[in-house]
Amino acid sequence: MATKFTDITKIPELRRRILFTLGVFALYRLGVFITVPEVNGAAMSQIVGGAGGGLMGLVNMFTGGALEMMSIFALGIMPYISASIILQLMTVVVPAIERLNKEGEQGRQKITQYTRYGTVILGVIQGFGISFYLENLHETNPNLHLLADTSSALDVWGFRLLTCLTLTAGTVFLMWLGEQITERGIGNGISLLIMGSILAGFPSTVIQLFTQLQSNAISLFTLIALAVLGLGVTTFIVFMETAERRVPLQYAKRMVGRRIYGGQSHHLPLKVNMAGVIPPIFASSMLIFPTTIASYLGDSPVGQWIQTVMVPGDWRYNLIYAVMLIFFTFFYTAVQVNPVDIADNLKKSGAFVPGIRPGQKTADHIDSVLSRLTMAGSIYLTVVCIMPFFLQDTMGVSFFFGGTSLLIAVAVALDTVAQIENHLITRHYDEFGSVSRGDAGGGTKSSGRIKGREPSDS
């Protein structure tokens, strides 16, 4: 394995991309410690720390602890994700956006531009929501001195505008950092920023576990059970993320001169979880948004009801989360993979599924297989993301510790490693998963995961 990492350093472009990505992570983590003006970060940390495993803990996890310190990155990348969800939905219901999506690179750039505008709009809305929320916290916790003096109306609106502009600028900067990683670094920038936020909280989680062990808040058996559970869930995620259904393919024989070409047997790899980490990210983003509305409503009955329902572990929250996970799994798979296009590409290349007529029959067969796989994938995502909420109550873990964080971290790591493998393969190096280097006349041994990532290209 050491030689594999040595091979990475031999490729200047890959080395540059990895160093650039690490540099962006360092810049991101530095910004997490810059507090919003006129806010007492220590007081905010005390309030959020007492929130434990509620929705505040979930938001804090996705922002890498930025909410706990009320830093300039307290909104995280969630407004961008929410804007992306809205644009994805609009590609289905708005014909003009659908046409843009089909216009190739130019159309996608236009949609990206609209997504940026949407990010700013949602950032402003959520930024004002955070300012109202901070005012409510300041009133309910006067001894903590969370905010500076806002006695006059002018001071109040000055604080609201300053907080809104600061948080929106922080989100826009994170969006730009994510795009830079995607373009000049390695992996998907937005997903890596979310993964980095999650991993940043792991050390404090481990420290908190041992602190609870020393204070007898949890038993040694519970600690060991959590470790075994975490290892088991990680193994299960790796298995499901790499699992695929291989649809057999046969290529028609062609006579070219005196030679016969074709007739080989291949397969079309379809991943069990085609949507990847998008459903849990989208669902979590959408569930965080109602808290913004609740912050505007204050102590009104509707605001209190939203705050009561939107608590991870509550049966209503779990039900909404599960429904959204299933919906986004089917929706994103349908957006990313078109069985008709796959069938047309197979027909043009002279490939067919044995026993299935080329064309519409093949498209129907692929759609049927894809539907069953997507259902299995949605159940897998729901179990991984929802089950830990029940275990939290059973084991008495008071902080946010869920399958969503593990799922995103492991899946994004697998995707990033796959991209590194592709760079190595392109330059005739063994990939990480290979047992040994091929002979001089042969190529490298490809892993099923890389094949499974390209169903729409078949």
Amino acid at 338: N
| Predicted confidence (pLDDT) at residue 306 exceeds the cutoff of 70 | yes
Average pLDDT (107-135) is: 90
Q: How confident is the model at residue 396 (pLDDT cuts 50, 70, 90)?
A: low
Q: Which residues lie below 8 Å from residue 414, measured CB to CB, with a gap of 6+?
A: 238, 241, 242, 449
**pLDDT at residue 446 in the model:** 38
Between 118-132, 168-182, 366-380, 393-407, the lowest mean confidence (pLDDT) is in 393-407
Share of residues in the chain with pLDDT > 90 (%): 26
Please give the angle made by the CA atoms of 271, 177 and 83, to the nearest 5 degrees: 65
**pLDDT at residue 65 in the model:** 83
Q: How many CB atoms lie within 10 A of CB 371?
A: 14
The dihedrals phi and psi of 290, each to the nearest 5 degrees, come to -60, -25
| Predicted confidence (pLDDT) at residue 315 exceeds the cutoff of 90 | no
52-55 own/partner pairs: CB under 8 Å, 24+ apart: 52/398, 52/399, 52/400, 53/312, 53/313, 53/392, 53/397, 53/398, 53/399, 53/400, 53/401, 54/311, 54/312, 54/400, 55/287, 55/288, 55/291, 55/310, 55/311, 55/312
3-class secondary structure, 272 = coil
**pLDDT at residue 312 in the model:** 76
**pLDDT at residue 441 in the model:** 43
| Predicted confidence (pLDDT) at residue 350 exceeds the cutoff of 90 | no
> What span, in angstroms and rounded, lies between the C-alpha atoms of 228 and 445?
33
260 vs 417, more confident: 417
**pLDDT at residue 382 in the model:** 93
pLDDT in tens, 63-100: 888 888 889 999 989 899 889 888 888 887 888 888 88
For residue 112 the two structure tokens come to: 């990206």
Average pLDDT (140-146) is: 81
The dihedrals phi and psi of 268, each to the nearest 5 degrees, come to -105, 110
| Predicted confidence (pLDDT) at residue 339 exceeds the cutoff of 70 | yes
Please report how the helices 403-426 and 360-395 are oriented relative to each other, as an axis angle in degrees rounded to 10. 130
For residue 261 the two structure tokens come to: 């070409």
The answer to whether the CB of 412 falls within 8 A of the CB of 191 is yes
In terms of DSSP H, where are the helices of 313-402? 315-336, 339-348, 360-395
| Predicted confidence (pLDDT) at residue 445 exceeds the cutoff of 90 | no
| Predicted confidence (pLDDT) at residue 452 exceeds the cutoff of 50 | no
Q: What is the CA radius of gyration of the chain?
A: 25
| Predicted confidence (pLDDT) at residue 317 exceeds the cutoff of 80 | yes
> What span, in angstroms and rounded, lies between the C-alpha atoms of 133 and 139?
10
**pLDDT at residue 173 in the model:** 96
For residue 275 the two structure tokens come to: 């949507």
Q: How confident is the model at residue 12 (pLDDT cuts 50, 70, 90)?
A: confident
Q: Which residues lie below 8 Å from residue 20, measured CB to CB, with a gap of 6+?
A: 180, 181, 184, 185
| Predicted confidence (pLDDT) at residue 371 exceeds the cutoff of 90 | yes
**pLDDT at residue 437 in the model:** 44
| Predicted confidence (pLDDT) at residue 259 exceeds the cutoff of 70 | no
pLDDT in tens, 146-203: 887 665 555 788 888 999 999 999 999 999 999 999 999 988 899 899 888 888 888 8
In angstroms, what CA-CA distances link 384 with 31, 168, 262, 366, 442?
31, 32, 43, 27, 40
User: Is the sign of the CA dihedral 409, 411, 414, 418 positive or negative?
Assistant: negative
**pLDDT at residue 447 in the model:** 38
80 vs 453, more confident: 80
| Predicted confidence (pLDDT) at residue 117 exceeds the cutoff of 90 | yes
Domains in the chain (CATH in brackets) are 1-200 (1.10.3370.10), 203-458 (1.10.3370.10)
Average pLDDT (406-432) is: 78
For residue 38, what is the enclosing H or E element? Answer: none
**DSSP structure string for 441-458:** TS-PPPPHHHHHT-GGG-
Amino acid at 448: G
**pLDDT at residue 137 in the model:** 82
324 vs 457, more confident: 324
| Predicted confidence (pLDDT) at residue 314 exceeds the cutoff of 90 | no
Q: How confident is the model at residue 378 (pLDDT cuts 50, 70, 90)?
A: very high
The dihedrals phi and psi of 265, each to the nearest 5 degrees, come to -105, 130
pLDDT in tens, 212-239: 888 887 788 888 888 888 888 889 999 9
Top mean pLDDT of 155-159, 354-358, 442-446 is at 354-358
**pLDDT at residue 287 in the model:** 83
